[in-house]
Structure 1
C-alpha cells in the first residue's frame, strides 16, 4: 500500500463512514413517524467476543447491520448489498441465489458458497464441521441484526482467518403481538411475498416467518425460486433459565448460467455459457442448484448468579443437494450435528475487575456424494460413490480485565482440531483414507484505552487458522486431496473510534497487516471443474475507515422536520500480494491477490421525515482489480448507484403501512457482480442486470 496514502487516511478519517454500524433500531412511534433508530456510539452494545460491551470499549473491528440496513435500505431482499456497505466485507452472487462472502480477504477460495468465515445465530453454529456456511438458506426478511467481526477471531470462535458473522432475528416487542404481510415485484420477473407472526407475551418471545422469492433472472438460465420458513423463540422457564429455539427450512432452486470470456461478455452479457466442440453449454445441460436444508437448534442460558452464567446449545441439520453441471450431475446428502457451551464468570469487585470466559465447540458432518454423468439435466452413469466424514472441535479461554488508566486488556487462547475420513465405494478394493490435521493453538491479545466518554483506541495481535473445507478436499474434480494444507496467519491491527460535535460526527478507523501462509487458491480445469492448491505466502495490508455526520441532533429531534438526516462515507484500501509463489513456470511473487479491489468507496445519504417519508441513497465504487494470479486480466470498474424512496406510517395506533420503490444500478453500468477467479479460458465474467427496479408494500397490525 502507498504509505503516504495510508498515513493521510489515518490522520484524516474524514474519508470514512460510521453509518449504522454505530446504531441500532427501534419501531415507528405511536404517531406513525419514523423514529431515529440511532444510538450514540457510547451506547451501542456488541456481542462479539462474548463481552456484551459498548462498541466504544470493544478492542476489535466490528461492523453492524441493523434492521434499516437489512430491510429498508435496498428494495430486493438479499444480504449482498447490505454486506457491501461494511468496509472490509465483500459479498457477491455470480447468479441469483449463489452467494459468496469474504471478510478481509479474497473470494479466490470460493468458486461458490461461503468459506473461511464462521457464522453463528445466538451462539448456534451455522458453519458446519466441513467449514461451509449455507448463507443462501437464510432470508434477509427474517433477520433483524447482523454483527461482523473482522479479522481472525479463532481465540473464541475457532478456525477462520477472515472473520465471524453473528446473526440475530427480528426484535419482538415485549408484551405485544403483531402480524406483518408483505409483497414486492420488480424487473425480470421478480416477485416475492412474506408473512411474519410475532408475540412477546407470557415471558416468551416468538417470531415465525415465511418468505417467498422468485425471479426469471437477467441472464439466460438464471431463474430463482426460494421458499423459507423460520422460527425464533425464547422462553423464560424460570428466573434463572431461558430456553431458546432456532429452526428454519429453506427450499432453494436457482439456475447457473456459467462464466463468459470477455468477448462473449461484451457481445451479449445476457447469454449463458455457450457450448464448445467438446463441452455442452449451461442451457443444454440444464445447469442448476437444487438445495433443501433444514436446521434445528436449541439453547439454554442458565444464570447461577449475577456473576456466573452458562449458555449451551445443540443443533442438527440436514441438506439434500443436487447440481446438474456441464460435465456431471452431483447428488449430495449431508447431515450435521454439533454443540457449543460457553461459561462466563465475572469478578466485578476485585482490584482488577475481570470477566473469564471458557467454553468448547464440537461438530460432525456425514456426507454422501454420488456423481453421475449429466444427460441434458438427467442423471446418467454413476461415476463416483463417496462418503466423507468431517469432525472439528475447539476449546477456548478468554479473560477481559479492566486496568488502571482506562485500559481494558483482552487475552484469549483456543485449541483447534480437524479431521476428514474419506471412502470411495465405486473403486474396488475399498480403501478408506484419513487426513488428520495437527492441533493448533490460536492466541489473541488486545489492549484498549478510552479517552473521555467519546473516544477510544485499541491495538491487537491475533492468529488465524483455516483448514481446507470439505468442498476443497473433495472438489468437483471428484478427487480427494489429502495433501492440501491449512492456512495460517498472524494479524496486527490498530484502530480508533469515537464521536464529536454532540455525537453528530462519528468515526471508526482501523489499519491492519495480515501475514498469511499456505494460502489456498482455486484452479479450474478446461471442463470447468475446480481444484485447490496452496499458494505459499501472502501479505495483506488494509485500512478501513468510516465517517458519518447527522445534520439533525440524534439526541433530540422533536422540534425538527426530520427524524434522521445523515451523510456517510466508507473507504476500504487494500494491498494484498503474493510472496515467494511459483505458479508452474511463472513467478507471481509481488503480484496482487485476485478478486480484491485496491480502493472501495461507499457513500450514502439517509433522510427520514417525521411525517413518514424516507429516502436512502447508496453509491459504490470499486476500481479495477486482477482476476487471475498472473494479473493478466482485470475487472471492470464498478460504479453502482442504488436508491430507495418510501412512506411508512402508523394508522390508528395499531396498523402500520410501508410503501416503497427502489432502483438498482441507476447509472445503467455494464459490470459483473461476481467474477470466476482463475477461470480456465478466461471465463471470468457473470453479468449483472442493467438499470432495474422493485416496488413493495408491508402492512402490519399489533395488539
Structure 2
C-alpha cells in the first residue's frame, strides 16, 4: 500500500506576508446571496444546497458562481468553454474534437489529461459526474437547464476527496409554478446545430387544501451535431436530463435521471509541420483507421434530507449508472504484433454506484457566533470489463479484429469526513478533515503464450485537511486566507498500461500529494466588484505522461512541482454599459529533473526533463474581458476578447504552441409579452480569423501535439418560452 504522508510544510512565510499587503476578491461579488456557504463539500442535492447557492462574499474559500443565464444568453449552449472563461483560475479549452471532450484545468491541475477531465471533481445537482477513480466528462453537464455553476478551487477543494485540484458543481433549474416551456435552436459553422427543450412545472399536491406538497419536475432534452472543423471530426450527441424534487414538511427529496449518447470521429492532433502547412487538415492515419468513439451512459440518482429540531439534519444521497465506450484508434498493425499488446480498439463497459450519508447541525450563539458542522461517510465504487481488439482484419483497417485483451477492473473509495464553520458578521473560521482511501483491483482473463497473467492490486490512503479564515475589513472589503493538503491517485485509465505500452495495472504509480495556500481580498463599491487572490501549491510525486501514442498513454511520477500565481476578477456597470474581466497568471514548473520518453515506442525513458521546466499544457497567462452595451430594453451588443500565453506541449519544453488573442462579438435581442418570451442572438467568433492551436495533446509520442482552434465563424440562435 502506498501512503500519502507528505509533511505539511510551511508554504512560504515571506510570500504570505507580502500577500497581506495586496488588494484581492472572488468573482460575482456583486451578488449578495442569502445563505452563507457551509463547508464546500456539497454532498447533498436537496434544495437547501441547490437553492440560494454559496455566497462568495462571505466564504472562507475561493468560489465563483456563474449564473445559468450567462451560460445560455448569446451562446450555443454546447460546451463549458462558452461560459467559464469569465472565471479566473480555470482554463476550459475546446479541442474541436468531441471524441476527447474538453480540456479543463484549474490552477494547472488537470492539464496533463489527454482526454476527458482529470484532477478535478464534477457534480450535477450534488451527484457525482466523476467516476470513483477520478475520471470525469464535462459533456454530461446539461447547460441548457443550468441554474448555476459553482467553481471551487484552492485549499477548500481538497475536501471533495481524492483528485480534487478543483471542483465544478452544476445545479439545474427547479420545477416551478406556473410552469415553463422553453425550446431553442442554434446553428453555426461547419454544419453545427443544436435543438433543445426544457419543461418545468409541478405535479400533484395542493398546499391550500392540505393535500400535501407538490413534486417539482424539470426536464431537459437536447441534441446537437456537427460536420466538424476538420475532416474526420463529425459528431452527434443526444442528452436527456430529468429531475423531480419535493419539500414536504421536514423532508426533502430529489430524484435525477440522465442519459447521453454520442458518436464522434477523432481527427487526432497535428505535427508542427502539418499545423504550419495547413491547420485545417487531418493526419492521414486518422482517415486510414477511421478513428472514432461511441459512448452510451445512463445514471440514476436520489437524495433525501430530514430536518430535526434545533437545526439538525440527516442527509442521504445515492446514485448508480452504466457507461459503455467503443473507441477505434490509429495504432499500426505492426505495433500490435507483440503478444502483450492490447490492440487498437478499446471496448469498455462500466457499472458504478455510490452513496453519501451526512449529519449536519447548526448551533446559534456559540462564542458569539453561529457554528455549523457536519460529519459523514462517502463511498463510491466502479466495476468495468475492458476488452481490447485489433483494429484490422487482413488489409482492412478501422474494423473490429481479434481479441487481444480481456480484464475485469474494480475501483472503490471510502472516505469519512468532518467539517465545521463558525461565523459572525465580521469573522468566519472553517476547518475540515477527510480521509481518502482508494483501492484498485484488476483480474486478467486473457492469458496466452507471451502474455502472462497481468492481474494486480493498488491501494492508497491519505489525510486531507483544510483550514480557512474570512475577515470583514470594512463595508466593502473582505480578506480571506486558507491552507490545505490534497492527494491525487492515477485514474484506472492512467494505470491501465505499463511502461512500453503493455496491458495490466502499472503498479509502480504512486499517488501525488500537494500542499496549497492562498490569500486574497474581495471588494465591492457601488456597481463594481473585484477580487484578487494569490496562491502557491507544492506537489510531491507529480503524475505526468510518460508516453502517449495514438491515444494510448502511460504515466509516471515525476518528483516535485511548484504552482504559484495570481487570479483577478472584476465587473462594473455604468448606466447601459457594463464590463467584466478575468486574469490568471500561473507559474507551474518542475522542481526536480527526471527522464521521459520523446518518441514511440518507448520501453525505457531516456530523454531528460530539467528542473525548472514548465508543466506541459499550462499557460503562464490568460486574460478574458467583455464589454456589453444595452442599446435598448430589447437589444444588447457585446464584444469579448480572450488572450492566452504560449503553452509547452511536452515536459521537455522543446516545442510550444504559440500564444494567441481572439475576439468575438454578439448582438442579442429579447422580448416578453404576456405568457410568451423570445430571445435571439447572432454571434461572430474569432473576428480576425486568427490561426492558432486552441489546445494541445501533452507529450504525444508521434509529436502530433496541436489541436487547431476554430476559424472565424458565424452562429445564430432563437429561443421561445411560454409559461403555463
Normalised by the length of structure 1, the TM-score is 0.89
Tell me if the contact between 2:477 and 2:521 (Cα under 8 Å) persists in the aligned partners.
yes
CA contact (8 A) 1:123 1:340 kept: no
Residues in 2 aligned to 1:569 and 1:665: alpha-carbon distance in whole angstroms:
18
Indicate which of 31, 46, 49 corresponds to 1:40: 31
Consecutive aligned runs of 4 or more in structure 1 exceeding 4 Å deviation: 3-13, 41-47, 49-53, 428-432, 525-528
Q: Is the 8 A contact 2:88 2:568 kept in 1?
A: yes
CA distance in 2, matches of 1:268, 1:4: 49
Which residue number corresponds to residue 418 of structure 1?
A: 438
The verdict on how the C-alpha distance between 1:6 and 1:285 changes in structure 2, with shifts beyond 3 A counting, is farther
Aligned positions of 1:128-527 closer than 5 A? 128-153=131-156, 156-173=159-176, 175-200=177-202, 202=205, 203-236=214-247, 238-274=248-284, 281-305=285-309, 307-327=311-331, 328-352=344-368, 353-375=370-392, 376-402=397-423, 406-427=426-447, 431=453, 433-475=455-497, 478-500=503-525, 502=526, 504-525=527-548
1:94, distance to aligned residue in structure 2 (A): 2.4
Measure, in 2, the Cα distance between the counterparts of 1:514 and 1:208: 41
Residues 76-97 of structure 1: CA distance to partner in whole angstroms, max 9, x if unpaired? 5211232222111011232332
User: Is the contact between residue 174 and residue 200 of structure 2 (CA under 8 Å) also seen in structure 1?
Assistant: no
Determine the structure 2 residue equivalent to 1:72.
73
2:119 matched to which residue of 1? 116
Provide, for residues 143-169 of structure 1, a one-character-per-residue CA deviation record: whole Å limited to 9, x for no partner.
221101012446531112411111100
* SS at 1:129 equivalent: coil
Q: Over residues 503-556 of structure 1, what are the superposed CA-to-partner deviations in whole Å (9 max), with x where a residue is unaligned?
A: x1211111010001111111335555311111111011011011211113xxxx
User: Relative to structure 1, is the Cα distance of residues 245 and 430 closer, same or farther in structure 2, using a 3 angstrom cutoff?
Assistant: farther
Q: Using a 3 Å threshold, how does the CA distance of structure 1 residues 190 and 90 change in structure 2: closer, same or farther?
A: same
In structure 2, the CA distance between the partners of 1:477 and 1:649, relative to structure 1 (3 Å rule), is farther
d(CA) in 2 for partners of 1:526 and 1:569?
38
Larger mean CA deviation between 299-308 and 457-466 belongs to: 299-308
Deviations 1:235-273 (A, max 9, x none): 12x301111011110001111101111110121212212
SS of equivalent to 2:274: helix
Give the whole-Å Cα distance in 2 for the aligned partners of 1:406 and 1:688.
Answer: 46
Please give the secondary structure, in 2, of the residue aligned with 1:159: coil
1:51-62 alignment runs, 5 A limit: 54-62=55-63
2:702 is paired with a residue of what secondary structure?
A: helix
User: Residues 278-303 of structure 1: CA distance to partner in whole angstroms, max 9, x if unpaired?
Assistant: xxx11111111100100110100111
Please report how far the alpha carbon of residue 695 of structure 1 lies from its aligned counterpart in structure 2 after TM superposition. Answer: 0.8
Alignment check: 8 A CA contact 2:114 2:698 kept: yes
Deviation at 1:177, TM superposition (A): 0.6
Between the aligned partners of 2:164 and 2:651, the Cα distance in structure 1 is 20
Q: Report the aligned-residue RMSD.
A: 2.5
Partner of 2:340: none
Q: Secondary structure at the match of 2:377?
A: strand
**In 1, Cα distance between equivalents of 2:328 and 2:300:** 28
Q: Distance in 1 between matches of 2:480 and 2:22?
A: 18
User: Is the Cα contact below 8 Å between 2:693 and 2:708 reproduced in 1?
Assistant: yes
Distance 1:258 1:223, change over 3 A: same
Give the aligned partner of residue 26 of structure 1. none
Equivalent in the alignment of 2:4: none
State the shift of 1:585 in Å.
5.2
Measured after TM superposition, the shift of residue 207 of structure 1 is 0.7
Shift of 1:324: 0.6
Give the whole-Å Cα distance in 2 for the aligned partners of 1:165 and 1:113: 14
Q: Does 1:570 align with 2:591?
A: no
Could you say if the C-alpha distance between residues 7 and 598 of structure 1 is closer, same or farther in structure 2, counting changes exceeding 3 Å?
A: farther
Q: In structure 2, the residue corresponding to 1:22 is in which secondary structure?
A: coil
In the aligned structure 2, how far is the partner of 1:7 from the partner of 1:631? Answer: 33
Whether the 8 Å CA contact 2:289–2:330 is kept in 1: the answer is yes
Q: State how far apart, in whole Å, the 2-side matches of 1:200 and 1:43 are.
A: 25
Tell me the residue number matched to 2:684. Answer: 663
Aligned pairs for 1:601-620 (under 5 A) are: 601-608=623-630, 611-620=633-642
Structure 1 residue 74 displacement after superposition: 2.8
SS of residue in 2 equivalent to 1:349: strand
Aligned 8 A contact 2:19 2:534 in 1: no
Cα displacement (A) at 1:361: 0.7
The gaps in structure 1 that reach 5 residues or longer are 24-38, 275-280, 553-561
Measured against aligned partners, the alpha-carbon deviations of 1:183-222 in whole angstroms (never above 9, x if no partner) come to 1112100111111111046433211011010000110100
Q: Distance in 2 between matches of 1:409 and 1:6?
A: 18
Q: Distance in 2 between matches of 1:620 and 1:426?
A: 49
How far apart are 1:106 and its partner, in Å?
A: 4.8
| Cα deviation, residue 42, structure 1 | 6.4
**2 CA distance for matches of 1:167 and 1:389?**
27
**For residues 527 and 507 of structure 1, do their structure 2 counterparts lie closer, same or farther at Cα, with a shift above 3 Å needed?**
closer
Q: Is the 8 A contact 1:152 1:160 kept in 2?
A: no
1:435-483, Cα deviation, whole Å (9 max, x unpaired): 3424211111111111233321111110011111111111475342011
Aligned partner of 2:567 among 533, 544, 555: 544
Please give the alpha-carbon distance, in whole angstroms, between the structure 1 residues aligned to 2:54 and 2:196: 34
Q: Which residue of 2 aligns with 1:278?
A: none
- Residues 5 and 303 of structure 1, relative CA distance in 2, 3 Å threshold: closer
Q: Give the count of matched residue pairs.
A: 659
Deviation at 1:142, TM superposition (A): 2.6
Equivalent residues of 1:646, 1:659 under 8 A apart = yes
The answer to whether the 8 A contact 1:511-1:542 is kept is yes
1:348 match: secondary structure? strand
> Hey, what does 1:35 align to over in structure 2?
none
Query: Relative to structure 2, which stretch is displaced further, 149-158 or 657-666?
Result: 149-158
Which residue is 1:638 aligned to? 660
Counterparts of 1:191 and 1:438 in 2: how far apart (Å)?
Answer: 45
2:582 aligned with 1:582: no
The offset of 1:12, in angstroms, is 7.4
Whole-angstrom CA distance in 2 between matches of 1:672 and 1:294:
33
